Amino acid sequence: MADQPVSSTDDLIRDALRRAVAISWDGCHKIYVLMDEESFDGEPGRDRHRLLRLDRPGVCCSARKQQHSHFVGSAEERTEAVLGVVKGWFGSSCPLRFVSTVEEDSCFVHLIEQGEDWA
């Protein structure tokens, strides 16, 4: 059986996740890939539902409480696991959903524009 082609959205998000320090989701439609410590500290979804540190494997912050979520394996395997988390959040979000990177706590780049589908 031939491998399924990988979508360009997967590639964009996968590339961002390789460089990110965290991801966050507000539990409704805002999904952020936080690219630096400044963005993590000033995380735009202050009403966040989920926050997952990527540069500290194994630690998940949910509602500001420490919980453990283990991502084991190579860096590429961890990236694929986190991509699965983002896809799950996206699938559970309302129709206004979007995925954006955040750098320096104020520079936003949309990976999936608001209301668009995962391509």
In this structure, the number of other CB atoms found within 10 A of the CB of residue 25 comes to 24
Gap between the Cα atoms of 72 and 95, Å rounded = 32
The total number of structural domains in the chain stands at: 1
Residue 117 lies in a domain: no
For the chain, give the percent of residues with pLDDT over 90: 50
What's the rounded Cα separation, in Å, for the pair 2 and 114?
33
Dihedral sign of CA atoms 26, 61, 81, 57 in order: positive
- For 6-48, the pLDDT digits (tens) are 558 999 999 999 999 889 999 999 999 999 988 888 765 555 5
CA atoms within 13 A on the CB side of 8: 4
Unique residue bearing structure tokens 């194994």: 58
Structural domain includes residue 118: no
Which residue is it, tokens 């590339």?
15
Q: Flag whether 1 is in a domain.
A: no
Structural domain including 74 reads 8-112
